[in-house]
């Protein structure tokens, strides 16, 4: 039983498999090292709990971001590896990101089937962003219909040779774009870019980000999640 709590603790700390094996205080007692398969099983279990807990809490207590008089920046980014490690072609997953100005509440959604059409993006935005919000985006054409769905829409052109970052009226997406660096750093560190459970890992990142931002104890939080789910 103690080694189970140890594995849950290791997951909560974001340890790699190798670190979990190396730090194991019970390996002498068992007279063998933890198997990577055992670690994988328990990490997957913990992630499953985190996903259920985080999404339920988000829907129940947090609600939508934005609203009248508020600004939400929206952007998409692709996660994965460059094909043959060179060139601009990247195989992976498109992710939609949304963050309200003045808030730390980041929302991420994986684009189904890697499609970034208005038919896909608008429902994802409506799931997280309240009507009446002023939305800042780049000039991706799928956003052009946002005004038809109860939003005030402003755009910044990244191809503007004079100022590709901020439009004349002050519209920019720099805050949401800056979030991608932290998210992708997490995926590279954990080697998650090719994970079959990519969507779940996105939720895991949001959970870890929330724990860190509010200076919570990650082990206590994962135990709270397990108690809630089971």
Instruction: Give the domain ranges of the chain.
Output: 2-63+215-229, 71-194
Average pLDDT on 162-171 reads 74
Considering the chain, what percentage of its residues have pLDDT values greater than 90?
67
Per-residue confidence (pLDDT) for residue 161, from 0 to 100:
66
Average pLDDT on 210-224 reads 96
Q: Which residues have CB under 8 Å from 66's CB, separation 6+?
A: 72, 100, 129, 130, 132, 133, 134, 135
Per-residue confidence (pLDDT) for residue 84, from 0 to 100:
53
When mean pLDDT is compared across 45-54, 78-87, 148-157, the lowest value belongs to 78-87
Which DSSP string corresponds to 31-50? Answer: TSPPPHHHHHHHHHHHHHHH
109 DSSP β-pair partners: 96
Per-residue confidence (pLDDT) for residue 70, from 0 to 100:
97
When mean pLDDT is compared across 39-43, 152-156, 157-161, the lowest value belongs to 157-161
Per-residue confidence (pLDDT) for residue 187, from 0 to 100:
84
pLDDT-based confidence at residue 81 (cuts at 50, 70, 90):
low
Answer whether residue 185 shows pLDDT above 70: yes
Q: State the chain's mean pLDDT as an integer.
A: 88
Per-residue confidence (pLDDT) for residue 221, from 0 to 100:
97
Q: Which residues have CB under 8 Å from 34's CB, separation 6+?
A: 3, 7, 20, 21, 24, 27
User: Is pLDDT larger for residue 150 or for residue 88?
Assistant: 150
Average pLDDT on 61-90 reads 79
Per-residue confidence (pLDDT) for residue 167, from 0 to 100:
75
Q: Which two tokens stand for residue 15?
A: 């340890």
Average pLDDT on 11-20 reads 94
The verdict on pTM exceeding 0.85 is no
Average pLDDT on 154-167 reads 76
pLDDT-based confidence at residue 110 (cuts at 50, 70, 90):
very high
CATH superfamily of 71-194: Ribonuclease H-like superfamily/Ribonuclease H (3.30.420.10)
pLDDT-based confidence at residue 31 (cuts at 50, 70, 90):
low
Per-residue confidence (pLDDT) for residue 226, from 0 to 100:
97
At residue 110, what are phi and psi to the nearest 5 degrees?
-80, 130
């Amino acid at each position: 039983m103690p080694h189970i709590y140890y594995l849950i603790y290791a997951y909560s700390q974001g340890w790699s498999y190798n670190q979990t094996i190396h730090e194991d205080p019970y390996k002498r007692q068992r007279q063998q090292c933890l198997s990577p398969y055992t670690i994988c099983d328990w990490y997957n279990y913990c992630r499953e709990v985190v996903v259920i807990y985080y999404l339920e809490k988000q829907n129940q207590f947090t609600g939508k971001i934005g609203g009248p008089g508020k600004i939400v920046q929206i952007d998409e980014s692709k996660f994965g590896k460059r094909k043959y490690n060179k060139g601009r072609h990247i195989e992976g997953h498109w992710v939609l990101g949304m963050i309200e100005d003045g808030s730390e509440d980041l929302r991420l959604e994986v684009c189904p089937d890697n499609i970034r059409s208005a038919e896909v993006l608008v429902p994802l935005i409506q799931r997280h962003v309240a009507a009446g919000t002023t939305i800042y985006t780049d000039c991706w054409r799928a956003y052009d219909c946002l005004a038809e769905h109860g939003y005030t829409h402003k755009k910044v052109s990244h191809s503007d040779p004079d100022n590709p970052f901020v439009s004349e009226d002050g519209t920019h997406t720099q805050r949401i774009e800056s979030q991608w660096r932290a998210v992708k750093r997490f995926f590279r560190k954990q080697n998650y870019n090719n994970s079959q459970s990519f969507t779940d890992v996105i939720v895991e990142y949001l959970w870890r980000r929330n724990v860190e931002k509010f200076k919570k104890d990650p082990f206590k939080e994962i135990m709270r999640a397990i108690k809630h789910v089971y």
